Amino acid sequence: MMAQDLLTITDLHRAELDHLLKQAERCKRSRTLGARTLAGKTVALVFQKPSMRTRVAFEVAVLQLGGTVIYLGQDDIQLGQREPINDVARVLSRYVDGIVVRVFAHRDAEEFAACANVPVINGLSDLVHPCQALADLLTLQERFNRLKGLRLAYVGDGNNVLHSLIQGCAMLGVRVAVATPAGYRPDPSIWKAASAAARASGGSLEWMADPRAAVRGADAVYTDVWVSMGQEAQRVKRLAAFRAYQVNAALLKLAKPRCGVLHCLPAHRGEEITGAVMESPRSWIVDQAENRLHAHKALLMLLFNKHG
């Protein structure tokens, strides 16, 4: 049985991940699917970091599933500052039926889940972004009608988005080529575990410094910002390190002719991706953003059907 919480993609078994993606496809076809799943239930969104997509997608998902949602930003709670996380988690558990946290430190998400007695979903931490990865996998699945055997190239920073992406792809047999500067490789422990999972599923995971090698023959190319929230002091250094990693028309010529482009947004046009690529027919980015809603609905249905 699935754990009560979703802090990382690896909290899901492979069969649960398969089911969740199929359910998300059904949610996309029918807005009213599961409309009573959260009837009489309330979900709190506890956000240290602001977000348009995560907030709106979860709020709409809860409402479409018949529930009520409460948003608590950093000014409302000052998580870990005005009062400790364990107090917030225990008190909120008396008021609401589920909690989505969006935090800086992953250990804060882990502490929140350990202290709460209702399902906790990680809406983003500095280590992983599992809800984004669900939308990414859904986007690939609907484009290709399969995941196993696809070649996905990721070009850019070895960050939280990449961590969840390789975890999910490894479970489902996707062949992933990652290109980052040597000093910005993904977390070694996550990489090691994902590599083992990829071998078991028939996928693969390889790192290289050359973005051209990663993109060659790719079915899809993924990128993300070079300077994430909280890294503003490193901006000059990071822009210099990633200059050769821009996703542009010249780079995409090395991929398959029908290769699509993914980005979790917000994007810094002219940095990690050009405006021309963002607006080209190859861009699946808006579809990918929409799929956050359907993936969130499927996740909530899975959690609350098991623990409601």
**Degrees to nearest 5, angle at CA 205 with 216 and 197:** 150
- Out of 129, 151, 282, 296, which one is annotated catalytic? 129
Is 102 labeled as catalytic in the residue annotation?
Answer: yes
Q: Which amino acid is at 48?
A: Q
Is 294 labeled as catalytic in the residue annotation?
Answer: no
Task: Please report which residue ranges of 145-260 form alpha helices under DSSP H.
Answer: 160-172, 188-201, 211-215, 235-241, 249-252
The confidence score (pLDDT) of residue 138 equals 98
pLDDT band for position 77 (50/70/90)?
A: confident
- Out of 11, 126, 136, 224, which one is annotated catalytic? 224
- Out of 27, 131, 169, 264, which one is annotated catalytic? 264
Is 264 labeled as catalytic in the residue annotation?
Answer: yes
Q: Which of 47-51, 117-121, 248-252, 281-285 has the lowest mean pLDDT?
A: 47-51
Cα 136–chain centre separation: 7
With H, G, I as helix, E, B as strand and everything else as coil, classify residue 226.
coil
Average of per-residue pLDDT across 244-267: 98
The confidence score (pLDDT) of residue 81 equals 79
Ordered by where they begin, the domains of the chain are: 9-129+291-307 (3.40.50.1370), 132-288 (3.40.50.1370)
- The helix or strand, by DSSP H or E, that contains position 68, with its residue range, turns out to be strand 68-72
What pTM was computed for the model?
0.96
The confidence score (pLDDT) of residue 2 equals 42
Residue 235 above 50 pLDDT? yes
Residue 15 above 90 pLDDT? yes
Residue 21 CA to residue 88 CA, distance in Å, equals: 32
Residue 127 CA to residue 194 CA, distance in Å, equals: 14
- pLDDT tens profile 181-216: 999 999 999 999 999 999 999 999 999 999 999 999
Average of per-residue pLDDT across 110-126: 97
- Out of 102, 163, 238, 263, which one is annotated catalytic? 102
Average of per-residue pLDDT across 76-82: 81
Is 27 labeled as catalytic in the residue annotation?
Answer: no
Quick one: residue 8, left, alpha or beta (phi over 0 = left, psi -120 to 50 = alpha)?
beta
The confidence score (pLDDT) of residue 78 equals 82
The confidence score (pLDDT) of residue 1 equals 33
- Structure token pair of residue 19: 């089911």
Task: Please report which residue ranges of 8-159 form alpha helices under DSSP H.
Answer: 14-29, 53-64, 74-77, 85-95, 106-115, 130-144
- Out of 163, 292, 294, 296, which one is annotated catalytic? 292
More confident residue, 231 or 243: 243
Average of per-residue pLDDT across 152-175: 98
Q: What is the mean pLDDT of the chain?
A: 96
Residue 266 above 70 pLDDT? yes
- Out of 64, 132, 141, 288, which one is annotated catalytic? 132
Q: Which of 32-41, 64-73, 143-152, 230-239 has the lowest mean pLDDT?
A: 230-239
Is 106 labeled as catalytic in the residue annotation?
Answer: no
Average of per-residue pLDDT across 100-115: 97
Q: Are 139 and 287 in contact (CB under 8 A)?
A: yes
* Percent of the chain whose pLDDT exceeds 70: 98
